[in-house]
Amino acid sequence: MSISSTVVATARERDWVQVAAAGLFLVLAAIVIGLQVENSLDLASLVGVRGAREGRRYFAVYAAIVFACGGLAAFMPRRLLWTAPALGALGALVALVAVATSGGEGWSILAAVLTLTGAWLLGRGAFGLPGLRRSGLATSSMASLAAGLGILGLGVFLFGVAGLIRWWTVGLLAMAAGLAGLVLLARSQAWRALPASVTSTRFRAGAAGVLGVQLAYATVWAGAPEVEYDALQYKAWLPAHWAFSGGIDAATFTDNPRSVYLGLAQLVATPGHTVGAPGVGRTAAGGSGEAAATSAASSSSRASTGCGKVANASGLPWP
């Protein structure tokens, strides 16, 4: 057998491995969607804001797009693998535009983005301090975001204890930091490598497409009206209360003791409430999950160790 024939055979074998991985991805997607359907059967016959009868057609479209992304990644020629992530990105773009305009959540979405980018900038700056510089954690986007969210939450808490939660204190500072972080991220070289990264394997192309669909799904849910106790009296109530009163006291936690379950999460959402963005918390929660998945793919593409190569194949992060 000639060298060229061997190379062609090896390439075909690798391609079939990617097809098998994409097939496994489809099976896992079917299991996840099946579990979602099973958990929703008790709501299928209900109507109104709590029911799912009116939403079944939209859920069917969502499931169809998920399988379409997997099918494109599994069977399209390699030069057309971009169609899978492009389909997911299109769905996310449509949902974002619809929720931001017709849903009136544009400012809340922007405030959530600025909250996350500001937190990332704070964490990145903290890891750049002399005592932490050698740790190398500043190169990890998720480590910087996690640390920054903690710093932001503690900062809001200190302002709250002092009775200084105002739009011109925590609100303005958080949005300004977010704008600076957004500009820094926009200038990052990582964005240029992202298209090649998500289409480097069939599995990644399919996963990127589904990630876009999930972003669309999360955006619609985050933009839905607040009609239940969990949202009105549990998650969004305290940030709104702190933004209105301007301070944090012990009575807040004794009157709503379950707030301790969420740690600093409600504090992080408070700056957005001070600038008139009541949906910032739920939108940032969905955005942070998307950021984690994107960071996972980016981190795994740079992995060089044995375990890192396994993570690279599966799209998982590796430190």
Which domain does 104 fall in, by range?
A: 3-314
Q: Write out pLDDT tens, residues 128-149.
A: 888 888 888 878 888 899 899 9
Q: Give the span between the Cα atoms of 149 and 181, in whole angstroms.
A: 13
Residue 154 located in a structural domain: yes
Residue 22 located in a structural domain: yes
- Read off the amino acid at residue 8: V
Q: Give the span between the Cα atoms of 63 and 181, in whole angstroms.
A: 35
Nearest Cα to Cα of residue 209 among 77, 87, 113 = 87
Per-residue pLDDT at 119 exceeds 90: yes
pTM attached to this predicted model:
0.75
% of the chain surpassing 70 pLDDT: 72
CA atoms within 13 A on the CB side of 161: 6
Q: Write out pLDDT tens, residues 246-292.
A: 998 877 766 665 555 556 778 899 999 999 998 898 888 878 777 77
Residue 141 located in a structural domain: yes
Largest alpha-carbon pair distance within the chain?
80
CB burial string 240-271: b at 16+ within 10 A, e below: bbbbeebebeeebeeeeeebeeeebbbbbbbb
CA atoms within 13 A on the CB side of 204: 22
Contact 243, 273 (CB under 8 A): yes
Place of tokens 């409600």: 266
Residue count (the chain) = 319
Q: Give the span between the Cα atoms of 32 and 104, in whole angstroms.
A: 31
Number of domains into which the chain is organized: 1
Residue 212 located in a structural domain: yes
Residue 231 located in a structural domain: yes
Instruction: Give residues with Cβ within 8 angstroms of 105, minimum separation 6.
Output: 99, 222, 223, 279, 283
Residue 319 located in a structural domain: no
Q: Write out pLDDT tens, residues 121-130.
A: 999 999 988 8
